[in-house]
Chain A
Amino acid sequence: MRDILSQSGFTKMNSNRNYHNRMYMKGLVHSFRLWASGAVLLLLVLGGANTAAAQTEQAIRDSLNRQTQKLDSLRAQGYDLISTQQWDQTIALPWDEVQEKYSTASTASVSGDKLGRLPQTNLTNALTGQLPGLIVQQTTSEPGFNTARLWVRGLSTFGNSSSRVFVDGYERSFHQLDPNEIESITILKDAAANAQYGIMGANRTILVRTKRGASGGTKIRFSTEAGIQEPLSMPDFLGSHDYAVLYNEALRNDGLPERFDSQAIEAYRTGSDPLLYPDVDWQNKLLKNRTTQSRHNFNISGGNDVARYFVSLGLTDQQGLFKHADLNDGFSTASDYSRYNFRSNVDIDLDEATSVTLDLAARLEERNTPGDFGVRGNQNAQFFNPIFNNISTYPPGLFPMRLEGEDGETLIGGNAQYTQNPYGLITNTGYVDNKSNFFLGTVEVNRELDGLLEGLSAMVGYSFDYFHRQSIYQRAGFAVYQPNGDGTVSSFGSEDPLSGRGQNESQDNRSAFRAGLNYQKGFDNASSFEAGLQYYQSKLAPAYIPDPFAQQLLSFNSRYVHNGKYIGQLAVSYSGSENFAPGERFGFFPVASAAWIMSKEDFLSENETIDFLKLRASFGLLGNENTGGRRYPYTALYDNASGSTFGDQQGVGGIAEGALPNPDATWETAKQANIGIDLTAFNERLNVSLDGFFERREDILSSISSVPDLIGATLPAQNVGIVENKGVEWDVTWSQTHEDFNWFVRALGSFARNEIVYQDEPFRENPWEYRRGHSVGQPFGLVAEGFFQDEAEIANSPVQTFGDVQPGDIKYRDLDDNGIINDRDVRPIGNSGLPELYYGAQLGFEYKGFSLSALLQGTGSHDFFMLNGATRGFVNARPTEFVMNRWTPETAGSADYPRLTTGSSPNNYRASTFWLRDAQYLRLRHAEIGYRLPVEFTSKFGVDNLRIYVNGYNLLTFTDLDSVDPENQRAGISQYPLMRVFNLGINIGL
């Protein structure tokens, strides 16, 4: 009987292989369809353009025009690799356009075209290593949930540290925009750059500008690319033979009888009985080795003296890793993501002094996941993924992945303890189909008021953004079956058929209004004066939160340039937030800054080496109104609280006094200072930009513990916390252009270190327990002193209070010498969890249309505790090579891993120096080889630019860690992994 069953098991496996082939074919077909549709679109465009060109003289002129604009076009499309600093180009702050050479602020910028070269579906991941001062941490490549975490200049508070993002002047998210619709992304780093944001500027700002049309000919651009993703650093789990041997050892360590007898061990070794003694490779059976992604964009821009436009349509598609996602009729359980981006930016000149802009953008996102994922509203990364968790922790040998029932039906393997077979989670839990729709609209009017006063202009603008999310789901549950060895099976759990369709919906909206007055006056001898007055208000009404979030800003800004050498700038923001008491809502935030263009001085102007040299300094006060914690901390209110049930009633909902009010609650204040130097030398071959900053953040809302609990009330947080943050940033480029050979190298990065100067902490018995004096996110843990070698050593050592202790367990240092090891012996160990050092290196060259480029990115000075499903042995984990050199009485001298156990072993698996690892890494983030066909050739077909390329992302990683990803040790274990991408694409410009 057993033979028959196992034979049928083999048959099953064979049919699986067929099935996988079928799935692979489906993927190919899918990719082909996308390519085909792109190609058809391209033909239509080409045909249309040629016909038009042949038909009218105007079009011919345009075509000629285009030829002359070729170089500009190429540069704009980012195909020009040479990244020289253009001191004449402008930095566009929301209200302040300033020539870069006259800027007193510290900013860093990257073009959308450059970001588009990185084959990533989420823009945040393309920012990695591009901007000095921006730390990007990619934690997963889960389709649709892969937004990276961003920090500008590290951490300056233990409160909310997120930077605000403004797209075209209004607060909006940017991570799901199409890079082809982006002109540039700029980070505003110092007080001078953020001055106008006042109460919301302390955490610094990310500015995104979308592309606009320029007068001149029509530019048509088409790009399409398709890539293959494959998981990075998936742990290599031990097979069922090793598992059984080690499990027996763990049981012996726990003083328990062995579970697997010699016959079973032998069966695991030989693989003779795949039904009762299987060796399930969950990763291989459930995850594809590779899957696809693709991006397509089509945009047209252009205009004339009256109107200019930019219209873009993008399609992005990222497929998930799960096999067996197609087993259900009518729906897929893949983990897929697709996105359409649409944008139309239009500028119309009503007359020579008046212009109107109308920007409309829409975005459709669709995420499809197995039903067990739940409905995940927040689309940020770092999700626990039950499917990956079970792939990583389920035993390989206790039951097959699936087996055949009496009537030939497929049963899902499992037993009483393991009822959430990941195969079942993928195939038999229904699905969730989440559709998000975004609509963004902006109208602005600009008017020059020279008639009133020479140099005066005004603008008003209004934006309305609307987000709607809908999840449609059907859920199901499954039972698992364990073969009993006699042809029968035992079942655990219940088979729940697919539920009816359920639906969740939510919607947010944000409206903002802004207006400004601007005055500019030029004088002789390169002096000029500018002043601006700006107003901004924004209201966000998020789903499920009854009270909208609102801010109001009024700011004044003035700049004086003297002789083209000395620049002084003064800005004041008077801004407020709805979060604080009436009368306490607004604050003044002044910022002063200056710059000195030394290269204009006589003693340098004749210098042939130095082309440009500028010193900058800024100092100012900013605020952070996003204080976290309870909203409206000044109010005394009763709020819903736990209630009681009486008799047979459903219960009487409780209501209770909320936290005591803090009428003085206010924003965090930030004193920020920055000095910088900008240098161009050696005929503009060398570009250097250096910054040093210091920030003292005060009034961080912190809970207080100086009032006895006798009062019985929840005390309000007080503005008492203080954090200091300081650091340096560098950006150095050497570039050289020759006749037909150009190359450059660039090194950029930052080092920032912060310290909690004050935080109202509860009383701690020992000085080393305090968080103050250490960085925000400092790891704390016990100090490990090796393993207990025998019972005598345990008896003679301090009592460890984290559960049973045996020989082979980790021994800890008794810091307070009281004979007891407990939480009082926890002290700061290792470096900050956030990398203090973050750097990037770029290089590239091009030769006659061939180009090669690379982007490396690395970190230093950060540590984490290596505790995950691949390192905890049998404790919510599955053994890997990591545990092989474990402690046994025989290996006591050389072991580097504690004894194995089947218990939970809270003594061993807790934060301590034993698990601390240096998480620094260096990654080859991106490399690309491309070829641009000669213009002389392509122009015959009306094509200005035709470039093909292959590139890759996350190609190589250098790290001291084996088997886990240095950016996220849970990636691929309990979360969706990071992916490597190989990508092929083509750009066409008409």
Chain B
Amino acid sequence: MKKINRYEILVPVLALLLFTGLLGCENFLDPEPRRNVVTEEEVYSDILQAERVLSNIYSGIRSGLSSGSYHYCMLGSVTDEGINAYNWAGSWSINSGAWSPSNTFDSAWSGHYASLRKIHLFLQNIEQTPGDQALINRMKAEARFMRAYYYFALFKRYGGVPLITKVINVQDDLDIPRASAGEVVDFIAAEVDTVSNRLPEQYGPSDLGRATKGAALALKARTLLYWASPLHNPSNETGRWQAAADAAKEVIDLGIYELYPDYRQLFLEPFNREIIFAKPDYGNTFFGTMNLNNRLGWGGTNPLVNLIEDYDMANGKSIEDPTSGFDEDKPMENRDPRLYQTVVVPGTEWQGYIYEPWGVDGRDSEAGGGGDGTRTGFNLKKFLYEPDRENLQPNSRTWPIFRLGEMYLNHAEALNEAQGPVSEVCEALNEVRGRETVELPPLNCGAYTKEKMRERIHKERRIELAFEEHRWFDVMRWKKGEEFAGDMYGYDVTLNEDSSITYEKQVIQTRRYDTPEFYRYPIPQSEMNINPELEQNPGW
């Protein structure tokens, strides 16, 4: 009898192993669930997850303090407020006139439509979420406010845009034409009217930064102001101005907000009582690094002499007024107190030492003199903490989107256009000018024509709202493009042997601003190419 080799047993064992191995491998490639991803259904069956969606929707708000919006520069550096020390910053390209449908300024078009889709997905699904109905209603109102806000962000750039109010998908007809600017404005106003009564007037400390009734009304006020402005209101219908004035008044009359007495601290104290809506920017040390002067940072934003000259004297008179007391040898003395709270002035104390933007020896030397010196003789102070706080992490900076001061100015501007320089116009302006740390002499409306008052208000906006991303859009809606074109000035600052300081005005940049096309953003060429229904803005 043949002896059985005991290893013969390996054959069936191997076969079995192979067989079971193959069977067991049937699901070998099935992915195991990932911990950080969930399906849409799972998201909306949990109110906490839905809150995270809403948090993501809020995150689409652009902060003027973040680096990403305009390629490392503040929007103010594109305007006659400032210049960025770095010639690779995004502003330089635009200032040279290289703005076109294929070289867009920012990614506002795609960015805001992405945010709108998120809102529509949220509104479509939130109904199925179990939870406190009052909370869900508030969240819906917040989402709808954000939708109106993002449509305003599109409107102020492009005018009319495709008005999408629900989720659209790849298989839908995506050749969507632009709605008229009026339709977009009507949509914003109607939405804001609806949600303003569903939003709370105020939140507890842990929810500051969410949409409030005041934010909704302020959004309406600014939207109507833009809609009444010359760019959109060529026939100057005064009814629009009156509606804008009323809307601003409604915010003021809420009585929730009051002017913050300290103009400088207004931009450092988070959610102070003047703030209507703001985006927290906590812990963003990048803004300080980018904009602090040479000794401490990269000295990014350099206020232009064009702006400096528009600050009146402390007695309220323009520096061009021979009776103003302006001394050309000491141009930095006795000016509107807001100047010293907005920009760092040569020879003054800042961050614990004297700011010295001169020569190559000064610690805050001129551009090229070693590091990141200033091109204009000035550095930014607004929004920047003194060092103890700037280095403290996280800081508690917020980016103001709506504040009461703007509402007074909106009210004054709209009312002057609607009714002329009535006393209420000056009352509104004097509120802002009389702020405890500003205390400029009150204006007397009787002394102004409507046109003079318009100029006064435009200047007041320029000063009060400097570097808050108003100037760029104000000039567009006023159609005053000449302000952005041509020579921009800085000072060559010299420290003399007798410790006096000499300021020599010089052209530091000559800018191009093409009208009328620059009054509206170009629709990206990539969109024009694939959507035959889109109409490009005039001039582009």
Q: Which residues of A contact B (CB under 8 A)?
A: 251, 254, 256-259, 350-351, 353-354, 416-417, 445, 447, 449, 451-452, 458, 460, 513, 515, 535, 537, 539, 546-548, 550-552, 576-578, 582, 585, 632, 635-649, 651-658, 660, 705-715, 762-763, 765, 799, 801-804, 820, 822-824, 901-904, 906
Contact = CB atoms under 8 A, between A and B. Distances in A.
A867 B64 CA distance: 34
A251 B295 CA distance: 19
B10 A354 contact: yes
Please give me the 7 A-B residue pairs with the lowest Cβ-Cβ distance, nearest first: A712-B117, A654-B56, A803-B87, A647-B208, A652-B55, A801-B98, A709-B110
B366 A256 contact: yes
Contacts of A715: 170
Contacts of B170: 660, 707, 711, 715
B526 interface: yes
A458 B55 CA distance: 59
Interface in B89-136: 92-93, 96-98, 102-103, 109-110, 113-118, 120-121
B226 to A, nearest CB: 23
Given A460-B18, A711-B117, 4 more contacts: A515-B21, A585-B29, A710-B174, A712-B164
A520 B344 CA distance: 88
Interface string B201-216: 0011111111000000
B443 to A, nearest CB: 37
B53 A656 contact: yes
A535 B20 CA distance: 13
Contact of B11 (A350, A458, A641, A660): A458
Contacts of B368: 251, 254, 256, 901-903
Interface-central residue, A656, A658, A765, by most chain B CB under 10 Å: A656
A535 B18 contact: yes
B14 interface: yes
A655 B21 contact: no
Nearest to A650: B282
A299 to B, nearest CB: 30
Contacts of B280: 644-647
Contacts of B109: 709
A713 B117 contact: yes
Contact of B204 (A535, A550, A640, A647): A647
B529 A763 contact: yes
Contact of A641 (B40, B51, B56): B56
Given A535-B21, A638-B39, A801 B114 contact: no
B182 interface: no
Given A647-B208, A648-B205, A801 B96 contact: yes
A256 B209 contact: no
Interface string B8-52: 101100110110011001001111101111111011000001011
Contacts of A351: 5, 7
Interface in B278-292: 279-280, 282
B227 interface: no
B359 interface: yes
Interface-central residue, A258, A710, A711, by most chain B CB under 10 Å: A710
Given A354-B7, A513-B21, A515-B17, A546 B34 contact: yes
Given A547-B34, A656-B118, A762-B526, A642 B367 contact: no
Contacts of A654: 52-53, 55-56, 59
B528 to A, nearest CB: 9
Contacts of A822: 93, 98, 103
Interface-central residue, B10, B40, B530, by most chain A CB under 10 Å: B10
A638 B43 contact: yes
B162 interface: yes
Given A460-B18, A550-B28, A706-B530, A256 B59 contact: no
A705 B527 CA distance: 9
A655 B56 CA distance: 6
Interface in B484-540: 524-527, 529-531
A803 B92 contact: yes
A451 B58 CA distance: 74
A637 B37 contact: yes
Contacts of A904: 86-88
Nearest to A819: B97
B59 A642 contact: yes
Contacts of A714: 114
Given A535-B18, A712-B114, A804-B87, A648 B370 contact: no
Contact of A259 (B34, B208, B369): B369
A655 B53 contact: yes
A763 B526 contact: yes
Contacts of B323: none
Nearest to B209: A646
Given A350-B7, A708-B531, A710-B164, A648 B206 contact: yes
A250 to B, nearest CB: 8
Nearest to A822: B98
Contacts of A537: 25, 28
B179 interface: no
Interface string B42-80: 110000010111011011010000000000000000000
B235 interface: no
Contacts of B114: 709, 712-714
Contact of A646 (B21, B56, B98, B206): B206
B371 interface: yes
Nearest to A256: B368
B254 interface: no
B354 interface: no
B360 interface: yes
Contacts of A251: 360, 368-369
Contacts of B52: 643, 652-655
A931 to B, nearest CB: 50
Interface-central residue, B31, B207, B208, by most chain A CB under 10 Å: B31
A546 B35 contact: yes
A710 B175 CA distance: 9
B369 A657 contact: no
B14 A445 contact: yes
A314 B277 CA distance: 67
A533 to B, nearest CB: 10
A416 B296 CA distance: 9
B10 A636 contact: no
Contacts of B530: 705-708, 763
Interface-central residue, B37, B38, B169, by most chain A CB under 10 Å: B37
Contact of B371 (A416, A646, A709, A710): A416
Nearest to A653: B52
B350 to A, nearest CB: 16
A637 B121 contact: no
Contacts of B42: 638
B360 A259 contact: yes
Contacts of A647: 203-209, 271, 280
26 contacts: A251-B360, A258-B360, A259-B369, A417-B370, A452-B11, A458-B15, A515-B14, A535-B22, A537-B28, A636-B39, A639-B36, A640-B36, A645-B282, A647-B203, A647-B207, A652-B52, A653-B52, A655-B52, A656-B53, A657-B117, A658-B37, A709-B114, A763-B525, A765-B102, A801-B98, A823-B103
A553 B210 CA distance: 54
A656 B52 CA distance: 8
Given A515-B21, A647-B206, A655-B52, A548 B39 contact: no
Interface-central residue, A258, A637, A638, by most chain B CB under 10 Å: A638
B392 interface: no
Given A547-B34, A710-B176, A799 B98 contact: yes
B168 interface: yes
A711 B169 contact: yes
Contacts of B175: 708
Nearest to B58: A644
Contact of A653 (B55, B208, B209, B359): B55
Given A552-B28, A578-B29, A710-B164, A906 B88 contact: yes
